[in-house]
Structure 1
Amino acid sequence: MIQRRFSSPAEESEEINLSPLIDMVFILLIFFIVTTVFVEETGIDVNKPEAASAVDLDKQSILIALTPKGEVVYGGRDIGVNGVRSLVQRLTRDDPEMPVILQADKAVSTERLVRVIDESKLGGAQVVNISTAH
């Protein structure tokens, strides 16, 4: 005689397949990485003057900082006034309308600020703005 063995519901093991869930998480991760806009900072803090007419500008821009010590900083390193023209030429090659934003400290001399604006314009920048505090 053949005996059948009946299993109880507690003995049956049911597992949830996590592969589709993991795939979905990776797809979302890739989506968020690709669509994220990274804001490039100058790498140095400056004490900006205040302006009543301040407006927010486009995130795609060239940020150059001028420190009270006379340094001209881009990407955390001192490029000097003479490095501004070549930097702007290189970065505006693909997008000639990309604005240059100068983050000048309150203590920066007007002469140094004008020299950096001139070098930016000679490098091909069509728009040069000065960053201020709101």
Structure 2
Amino acid sequence: MKFPRKPREQVDINLAPLIDVVFILLLFFVVTTTFTRETRLKVDLPEAVSGEAQQAAEPQTLEVLIGVDGSYSVNNQPLAVNDLKHLMDKLVEASGGNQDYPVTISADGKAPHQAVVTAMDAASKLGFSRLRISTVEAEEN
């Protein structure tokens, strides 16, 4: 005897609630994520065998970072335009017009020589007399 088979019910998975949950999670992660942009220049300092280590940090110093592409940053704030006028304006702003602050130039070892000379020229034109050039101590072979 042959029994009639029951027709199989179509099994449907409703994806609408799943999509809603995914979109809510996506929105949550977008809103709670912080996007930080690194504004510091990566500088590989040149090596030097002679020289003396910097003494205890002074209360206020001006640090001019020069990147490998010749871009400037004064006290970890990059310049929008990398030329002498904007560098001088940023140094005056950072020092508040006080020319007694020491200026430390930290240039990448592969930075263009002209960029270093421009930074020294800007400090000189503004009357800064305490100028330092940062290096790292050479490794002994």
Q: TM-score range by the shorter chain?
A: 0.5 to 0.7
* SS at 1:113 equivalent: helix
The residue that corresponds to 1:11 in the other structure is none
Corresponding residue number in structure 2 for 1:67:
67
> Would you say 1:46 and 2:43 are equivalent positions?
yes
What TM-score, normalized to structure 2?
0.57
Counterpart of 2:104 in structure 1 is 101
Query: Structure 2: how far apart are the matches of 1:106 and 1:118?
Result: 19
Structure 1, unpaired ranges of 5+: 1-41
Q: Work out which of the two has the higher radius of gyration on C-alpha atoms and give 1 or 2.
A: 2
Q: Which amino acid aligns with 1:78?
A: L
The answer on 1:127 being equivalent to 2:130 is yes
Alignment length (residue pairs): 93
Q: Deviations over 1:16-59 (max 9, x none)?
A: xxxxxxxxxxxxxxxxxxxxxxxxxx822200011221421434
Q: TM-score, normalised by structure 1?
A: 0.59
State the distance in 1 between where 2:48 and 2:127 align.
27
Match of 1:118 among 107, 116, 121: 121
**2: CA distance between counterparts of 1:125 and 1:110?**
20
Structure 2 residues without counterparts, runs of 5 or longer: 1-38
1:45 maps to a residue whose letter is K
* Cα RMSD, aligned residues only: 2.1
Q: Percent identity?
A: 18
Match of 1:56 in 2: 54
1:108 Cα shift?
1.2
